[in-house]
Structure 1
Amino acid sequence: MQACPGEDTKAAGMASEGQVGFVSIIIPNWNGKHFLKDCLDSLIRQSYKDLEIIVVDNGSKDGSIEFLADNYPQVRVPRFEKNTGFSVAVNRGIRESKGEYIALINNDTVVDGLWVEELVKALNTHPEIGSVGCKMLGYDDRTLLDGVGDGYRRGGLPGRIGHREKDTGLFDSERYILGACGGAAMYRRAMFVDIGLFDEDYFAYLEDVDMGLRAQSAGYKCLYVPSAIIYHLGCGTTGSGYSPLVVRLSAQNNFNTLIKNIPGSLLIKFIPQICFWQAYYLAVVCVRGGRVLAWFEGFGRFLLMLPRMLKKRQAINKGRRVSLNYLEEIIVQSERDLEAARMRLNKQALEARENNSVKSTEAERKAEADLSTAKEEPVESTKSGKL
């Protein structure tokens, strides 16, 4: 396979071949010292030992670098003077890595002891895949799914499949997905060499969705591996889902991802969905966070970046190795997965409300019964009856 030309994310400075069977685990870190011990200890305890750990520090001021030097001398720590964002940080880690396989995890995660082993096994077994995702569970409530992979709608709005659903066994089988969440994924080095690294115009958010779409376009499938489990605290160092920064970056990258990755005929076909879902996101932002100015700032930045995105679009289209029907099919299926997940989550919430209502009614009845009993019982006098 030939590399897609024109990408500014091409793997310059990266070894084209890694050590066979070796895994490089890359963790971007920005002021995440309080997460690092649990995360790194879980990696050190992995059953799969042929690995290296690289923590790319993004200008932390909380003592992260000193903590790593004092407690984890075996961990390599490339560093930046300021926060460069997710893509720049992980790209540096990838360029400095040695592995045939490259894993990315967030610093606010703890991995199961078989996590690396199960993902390597899947990559060795399935030559058609370029990446693998895993089962992400909540860190505090491990009965809740954090997600099982990235989803994407024809309207350009991403989502995490299974997010906040109860882990009832529905996602206990391997399946192809559109892409893996960048906070818990493993990739073939060969795929990065072929299609390029993460887009450094994405400071944060949707860079993994963009990678998933680019990989699919180039013919690399992604496999969800439920036997690989990771526990994610979520939003540990990036803040609220409706902060001005999150809204601005999400709006900007929603449009960047559409323009870069969706071929012209599909883009025209998806116009009704694009209008609906982007208006929906703006409405949600207004209602939940009141961040309408941040949304428009993100849209404005997208317009300024449009010439650059169009050049990247040209390169991606030139390197496409799958049919338009295939691209449309995986996006539509991903949209169905997100809708099914939304319906299950709504049902789950309704059942929880009904259960709480029943419990509340039972508690009220018990309280009334206790009060009635108390009224019927004779009250003993506190007087002796003697003068």
Structure 2
Amino acid sequence: MNDTAVVIVNWNGKPMLKNCLDSLRAQTFKNFEVFLVDNGSIDGSAEFVEKEYPEVHLIKLKKNTGFAGGTNAGIRKALENQKIKYLVTINNDTKADKFFLQKLVEVAEKNPSAGAVAPKMKYFYQENLVDSVGILIHRDGGGVSRGNKQMDSGQYDQQEEIFGVCAGAALYRRSALEEVMENGEIFDEIFFAYYEDLDLAWRLRLAGWKAISCPQATIKHIHSATAISYSPFKAFQVNRNRFFVILKNYPFRFMLYALAITPMRYLRLINSIRIKQGPSHKLKEKAGIFSPFIIVLKGWVSVIWNLKAMLRKRKIIQKNKKVSNKEINQWFEKYSATIEEMIYK
């Protein structure tokens, strides 16, 4: 009986699919199905999967609906099978260790209060570097990968409660996802890409679900293989979606504080450009000196355009909140990212 579904979203990622799908074929855990959503690729990805991996459930979309829309399409198809208990999302530019699924499912089975489980993600070409073991948060609405770019010296080798998981590789409990679903969407499709997993992590935590790390489940990740690192697209999405996270999920006093300290965030970003350090500097080098400022302005316009929809979702999320503001404040203290991690890394 297959009780686990693996959902992969692909957009013109044919060169990466063999590593990803071969690693799933090699899993010690066998009770799973694979759903690959092709987001309107024009590089022959869909034809390659049909020919070489007939066991994969292929879902062809006519256009690129982003990570959020693509993953939702795969999850909807997977959930047609009522026996599915767990949804595992992995990026198309990953290669899973053979015990990956086995370890994730074992931890989920032993921790029924966990709505999500995070593996240890490592960089594909630098296996001694951590990519992510969950998500860290900040009071300004931001989020970063826990442990990102740190040397892997065993500091994350203990299973422990974390704030949330990075959807680049994660296990989600079906019942948890169904509880926080928004109009049939697991990931908010207005986000399109980036921070959609942070938004989902917030919704799960506010609904009372926990998240746990499972460092014994390992997976290698190329990182930003489809969306180029430090691209204007990625910068726009992250800047805009940070506001969406605040507007939807932060209780009123936390929301006011996050908006109040946003100018400080921008000053730090400007400083990172001045001292030539961090993603904003690299974006400026790639796209021009005015690109960060243009991206911020475009983000504000998009936030205003989508404000009504965000506030409508906020009303439902806050109404169904099962945790106290005191507990939320404790999350910020326990799972907080540093300014170094947020701005300069």
Shared fold (TM-score, shorter chain, > 0.5) = yes
Q: CA deviation at 1:192?
A: 1.4
Following TM superposition, the consecutive aligned residue runs of length 4 or more in structure 1 with deviations greater than 6 angstroms are none
2:166 aligns to what?
Answer: 181
Q: Paired residue for 2:112, among 127, 132, 144?
A: 127
Q: CA deviation at 1:280?
A: 2.9
Q: CA deviation at 1:332?
A: 2.7
Q: Paired residue for 1:266, among 249, 254, 261?
A: 254
1:161 aligns to what?
Answer: 146
1:170 aligns to what?
Answer: 155
Q: Does 1:88 align with 2:87?
A: no
Q: CA deviation at 1:139?
A: 0.6
8 Å CA contact 1:154–1:332 kept in 2: the answer is no
Q: Does 1:232 align with 2:221?
A: yes
1:32 aligns to what?
Answer: 13
Q: CA deviation at 1:184?
A: 0.2
1:308 aligns to what?
Answer: 309
Query: 1:15-57 CA distances to partner (integer Å, 9 max, x unpaired)?
Result: xxxx7x6110000000000000010000011010000001100
Equivalences, count: 323
Greater displacement, 271-280 / 48-57: 271-280
Q: Which has the larger radius of gyration?
A: 1
2:86 aligns to what?
Answer: 101
SS in 2 for 1:77: strand
Pair 270,64 (structure 1): closer, same or farther in 2 beyond 3 Å: closer
Q: CA deviation at 1:250?
A: 1.2
1:246 aligns to what?
Answer: 234
Q: Does 1:63 align with 2:44?
A: yes
Counterparts of 2:147 and 2:223, CA distance in 1: 14
Counterparts of 2:176 and 2:108, CA distance in 1: 12
2:275 aligns to what?
Answer: none
SS in 2 for 1:293: helix
5+ long unaligned stretches in structure 2? 273-278
2:276 aligns to what?
Answer: none
1:114 aligns to what?
Answer: 99
8 Å CA contact 1:135–1:229 kept in 2: the answer is yes
8 Å CA contact 1:153–1:332 kept in 2: the answer is no
Pair 283,301 (structure 1): closer, same or farther in 2 beyond 3 Å: farther
Query: 1:290-341 CA distances to partner (integer Å, 9 max, x unpaired)?
Result: 3221221112101111111000100100110111111121123221xx2298
Q: Which amino acid aligns with 1:306?
A: L
Counterparts of 1:58 and 1:322, CA distance in 2: 37
Pair 326,51 (structure 1): closer, same or farther in 2 beyond 3 Å: same
8 Å CA contact 1:282–1:295 kept in 2: the answer is no
Counterparts of 1:194 and 1:144, CA distance in 2: 35
Pair 204,340 (structure 1): closer, same or farther in 2 beyond 3 Å: closer
**Residue pairs, 1:39-58, within 5 angstroms:** 39-58=20-39
8 Å CA contact 2:246–2:258 kept in 1: the answer is no
1:361 aligns to what?
Answer: none
Counterparts of 1:251 and 1:227, CA distance in 2: 33
Counterparts of 1:282 and 1:262, CA distance in 2: 26
Greater displacement, 202-211 / 246-255: 246-255
SS in 1 for 2:65: coil
Identity %: 33
Counterparts of 2:270 and 2:335, CA distance in 1: 22
Counterparts of 1:280 and 1:296, CA distance in 2: 17
Query: 1:196-225 CA distances to partner (integer Å, 9 max, x unpaired)?
Result: 111011110000000000000000000011
8 Å CA contact 1:155–1:276 kept in 2: the answer is no
Counterparts of 1:73 and 1:282, CA distance in 2: 50
Counterparts of 2:52 and 2:270, CA distance in 1: 45
1:339 aligns to what?
Answer: 338
Q: CA deviation at 1:283?
A: 5.6
Q: CA deviation at 1:275?
A: 3.2
SS in 2 for 1:96: helix
Counterparts of 2:179 and 2:269, CA distance in 1: 34
The alignment's C-alpha RMSD in Å is: 1.9
SS in 2 for 1:159: strand
Q: CA deviation at 1:277?
A: 2.3
- What TM-score comes out, normalization by structure 2 length? 0.89
Q: Paired residue for 2:243, among 250, 255, 266?
A: 255
Q: Which amino acid aligns with 1:89?
A: G
Q: Does 1:194 align with 2:179?
A: yes
